[in-house]
Chains A and B, each alone.
Chain A
Amino acid sequence: MNPRTKAALIGGVVAGLLSAIPVVNYCCCLWAIGGGVLAVFLYVKSTGAMVTPGSGASLGAVTGGIAAVIYLVISLPLNLLIGAAAVAGQMEQMERAGVSIPLSGMALVVVFVVIAAVCVFLFTLLGGVIGAPIFGKGGGAAAPPPPPPGGFGGPGM
């Protein structure tokens, strides 16, 4: 696996997982942004390459895509199990207030989780953008320049 994909995968898993777990996700946008920053950090650490703000954003976008998918995979069943009753209550309230709802309870839960996944994507992308100036200067794992060929410079053997 190439270092970019690996970094995006790890950052995406961290961002998606921690944003989806109830209570743990009380740290506001920290996990999503942290996932993007982590991806840039891991990429720079493994390649030593310099990351410009634009390439940080593009790495953040890939990481955000992965984070959004993981968020969907975890949040969807959780919301269908735990949140369905709350949504049903809200729908009942809305119908009593005379609001017509074009979707069923299940469909509404799915739509809401997809909307939330877009937010995870957005913040992870921003994490990649912010990570670039923090860690993107490179130099982490860059190989040192090769020694000059024998017979040049210095007294020699």
Chain B
Amino acid sequence: MPASITEYVPQFMADAESSRRGRAAWLGWGAVLAGAASLVAMIVLAPLMRARGFPLLSQALYEFFSPACHQMPERSFYVAGYPLAVCARCFGLYVGALAGVAVYPLARRVTRMDAPPRAWLILAAVPTAIDFALGFFHVWENTHWSRFSTALLLGTASAFYIVPGLVDLWGMGLRRLSRQGRPRNFPEGSFSEGRPEPSSSRG
């Protein structure tokens, strides 16, 4: 005799769970991409706003980046007659990071929470270090473009270390929110988590 529909046990819990996690990871990546794009936009908007007659907003943007860059005009690119909110090297880092975040899903799955080996990050920092050292010791006078392009590489590589962390942080935030919304008499991890967590792992 066939069982009643009320006794049906769902067989695809793991798939639903992985799809939920996949969606959260993509949302997290989208948030990181939006954040990186906003930073680059703020850098370019600072001089544009000053040129268009919004000095207060422009100054706020310059002030935002002041602890993160020396903002020396002679070391910065100019837009509309005013320097960008950061120097050429920092601008390369931001643009590179934006490009790295944008291409990240083409190179790695966004659901991966591990970062590439640290050797790649160190390797990507070598051109910037050489460019800085040659300029610092007056061996070679570096240019805006040498600073920008070497930092572009470092920024792109950094994105591959930043994205997994921020996507993981995003997922942690979502899990915390979903735990807060769950009824108290439900055992944690029994349904929506897909698999129960060992009680010893809770701090």
Contacts and interface: CB of A to CB of B under 8 A. Distances in A.
A43 interface: no
Interface of B: 53, 55-56, 59-60, 63-70, 86-87, 89-90, 93, 113-118, 121, 158, 161-162, 164-166, 168-169, 171-172
Contacts of B115: 53, 132-133
Interface in A95-131: 97, 99, 101, 111-113, 115-120, 123, 126, 128-130
A93 B55 CA distance: 10
Contact of B68 (A29, A61, A97, A129): A29
B165 A53 contact: yes
A25 B169 contact: no
28 contacts: A19-B67, A26-B70, A28-B68, A28-B70, A29-B68, A52-B168, A53-B113, A53-B114, A53-B115, A53-B161, A53-B164, A53-B165, A53-B168, A55-B168, A58-B172, A93-B55, A94-B56, A97-B53, A97-B55, A112-B59, A112-B63, A116-B66, A120-B67, A130-B121, A130-B158, A130-B161, A133-B118, A134-B121
Contacts of B121: 130, 133-134
Interface string A49-62: 00011111110010
Contacts of A28: 68-70, 86-87, 89-90
What is the interface of chain B mostly: helix, strand, loop, or mixed?
helix
A77 B11 CA distance: 63
A97 B154 CA distance: 41
A66 interface: no
Interface centre among A28, A29, A32, A115, by most chain B C-beta atoms within 10 angstroms, is A28
A55 B168 CA distance: 8
B56 A116 contact: no
Interface of A: 19-20, 25-26, 28-29, 32, 52-58, 61, 71, 75, 90, 93-94, 97, 99, 101, 111-113, 115-120, 123, 126, 128-130, 132-134
A119 B65 contact: yes
Contacts of A29: 68-69, 90, 93
B67 A71 contact: yes
A39 B176 CA distance: 23
A99 B22 CA distance: 49
A133 B158 CA distance: 11
Contacts of A129: 161-162, 165-166, 169
A90, A97, A118, A132 interface centre (most CB from chain B within 10 Å): A132
Contacts of B161: 53, 129-130, 133
Nearest to B86: A28
Nearest to B69: A28
A41 B116 CA distance: 18
A52 B59 contact: no
Contacts of B114: 53, 133
A56 B172 CA distance: 12
Contacts of B53: 97, 99
Given A53-B165, A57-B168, A116-B66, 20 more contacts: A19-B67, A26-B70, A28-B70, A28-B90, A29-B90, A53-B113, A54-B113, A54-B169, A55-B168, A71-B67, A99-B53, A113-B63, A123-B67, A129-B169, A130-B121, A130-B161, A132-B165, A133-B114, A133-B117, A133-B121
